Structure 1
Amino acid sequence: ILLYTFGHFPCSPWTIPLKVTDDDTTEVHPTCDIIPLGQRVDCFPDGAASKQKCEQRGCCPLDERNAPWCFFSKQHGYTVESVEQPSPTVMNTRLKRMSSPSLFGADIEKLSFHAEMQSQNRLRFKITDAHKQRFEVPHEHVSSINNIQASTPISNILEITHKPFGLIVCRKENNKVLFDTSVVFADQYLQLSTMLEQVVQEFLNLIGRPVIPPYWSLGFQLSRWDYGSLDGVKKTVDRNRAVGLPYDIQYTDIDYMEDKKDFTYDKIKFRDLPQFADYMHEKGQKYILILDPAIATSTRVGNASYDSYERGTEKNAWVTESDGKTPLLGEVWPGETVFPDYTSPNCIDWWVDEYDRFYKEIKHDALWIDMNEDPQQGSKTSAGSEGDPTMSSSSASSVSPDANVSMQAQLHRLPPASKEPIGSNHIILYMSI
């Protein structure tokens, strides 16, 4: 959704019928000369721009060196159809797309604009499709209006223009413009506080207080991929203890798992892992293990059932295709995988239960949750189509060793996605920062 407003306006008290302004231009061609340079929005960010292509988009081409030279006219955007104010702190507006060439296709013709003052210093505004509900990430920790009596009237700080639709947020005390819609937006919150401490307080009132991390988590930590076995991990721990190196936390990467499957451990190479946390605690140290939330669809060693996958399937815990039923398949470290849908209550119940089961089996002090963004490594897709299973080292991201951040870099061999062997130069580099 592209929404634009042109020019700055002085802020002043208003009523809805008076402050909704209308530019009743009757010109067929774009009105370009009244748009200040600082208010122009680039209409041709892609390559191969020309005057002809700019005009085909209904935009304004000007022979100037100042960018953008091809910019939106006042005939782009949306116009206001109706405005309602059901309470002093709420405004609802219906918008209709203006007739103009489409840049990307599939433009939404009718929009709903909703704005509300949620506190003395917090304004929320949201734009949605007026006729079709689309998926939105749930705001489980974000509260709505909780004290209407204490909220500032929305007319004190918000102005809208009619054609094209735009909004301006200003500070009542000095009429200073704080925000205008020369950017793309869909759902935003604005903090209108004047003091830094108040900004932090308002933000925490909105999203909730953070959890204070344990003191030991700020200490020195050690991790790598492929210690080979738990004996290899213990040798590393003992070697650092012997030289008195400050060393608070030891990790194990996915090599502790059985075939890289979550909620499992290798009962041969890491057979004593259930006691490893006690081994670390003897010297006041902590143990953290990794989980990659991509759940394998294959069975376990000896063709045994992979219960974590089976229980998740029973609970419909996976991200699905557009039909809402077929699990979305990918390929990550263990091979073909499904992905937990953490927006689903069923998935949350499944995840908590699986973690509780695993913690009772393998004691540890914290989790390293890695690759929780539905990655795709190989050629496997739900449709079974083939893709490029490799990522060459020349295309991998590099990070300067002088970067002023604390990080762990892991190098993993890409699991083969076809019968062709992958050369030693094909790797995936990922980091936890």
Structure 2
Amino acid sequence: MSKKVLMLAAKANMIQQFNHRNINILQDLGYEVHVATNMIDFGSMSATENERFKQWMSDNQVIAHQIDFERRMGSLKGNIQSIKQLRTLFKQDNFSFIHVHSPLGSILGRLVAKQFKVPVIYTAHGFHFFKGASKLAWLVFYPLEWAFSFITDTLITINDEDYALANKHMHAKRILKINGIGVDVERALLVTNDCKKAARQRIRHELNIPDDAFLMSSVGELSDRKNHKIVLEALKMIPLAARQNIYYIIAGTGSNSEMLTTLANSFDFGKQFKLLGYRRDIHEINYASDVSVFPSFQEGLGIAGLDATIDGTYLIGSNRRGISDYIKQGINGSIIDPSDAVKLKTAILDNISCQDELFPHNDLVEFGISKVDQKMTQLYKELL
């Protein structure tokens, strides 16, 4: 009989976005994989994507368990209910170890795992306390992560800042740095210029954007944290004559769509601003773009920005941990303060006046899927 392992996160989107390959690796090692998450209140993905994920689990013999995790850090009543559901699950299945994700899921999962003496791997997808974070974030999340690190067997961090902080302050038995879920650097290096040009023409034709327009793009949820508003504020500062040939597109869904549209219309930029919704052709959008902008206030690593850099698109990104790990100033991108619209405006104008063709850099191989999967495979093997 195969050994059982539990993959746990508060919301299904965390499993869907970051753990397909981890599940496959575990299955290849002979584990029976269980997933415990909230598939009803499923987080930041579309309902269609949620159904697709549930079907994927069914097709791949992943055993799914509905746990009614609440939003954010949950309520006392809701968290007690989630703990009861997890305890029932742990009683009926003898797990070799669990791999937890997300602040709430990792805390409740580790509590129950400690009771049942089950080893824990915890991937911190970006601590909520970091350089530039609010005092409240430090007051709330730092003590929690510090306390629960004592009952963590392996802590995985995904950026340099978190890794340094964890080594200095956390007490997990083992602390590792693994570059998120990795990106397909090998594929990116094989894409020809002709393929990129064809994608550029297709996307621009679809969106009715002129071939000679300066196209900026962002990828990510339409939320305050992703901070797309600062891009429009920077564009608003650019004189009309200079921005007549600038277009800005965002691939993503979220609650800020109306606010962003209203802001664009306020300075007659509405016809050059397009919200694309959820897209599955992000690489093609990167090829179509002259610049990618990633102005997020908070990221663990920032896969969207990393994708842009390996696709050879110049990236203007925030000076926040994770993002700054892979931007080489003036080579494959520029680093800006995500609160400084003036500096962002300058970076945009600099790129309009100097558009050099870029290519994926071989020195980003450390962020590649093969490297990440190799490290995860080794970690899981050690727990066999």
The normalised TM-score by structure 2 is 0.25
The normalised TM-score by structure 1 is 0.23
- Whose helix fraction is larger, Structure 1's or Structure 2's? 2
Bigger relative contact order, structure 1 or 2 (CA pairs below 8 A, ≥6 apart): 2
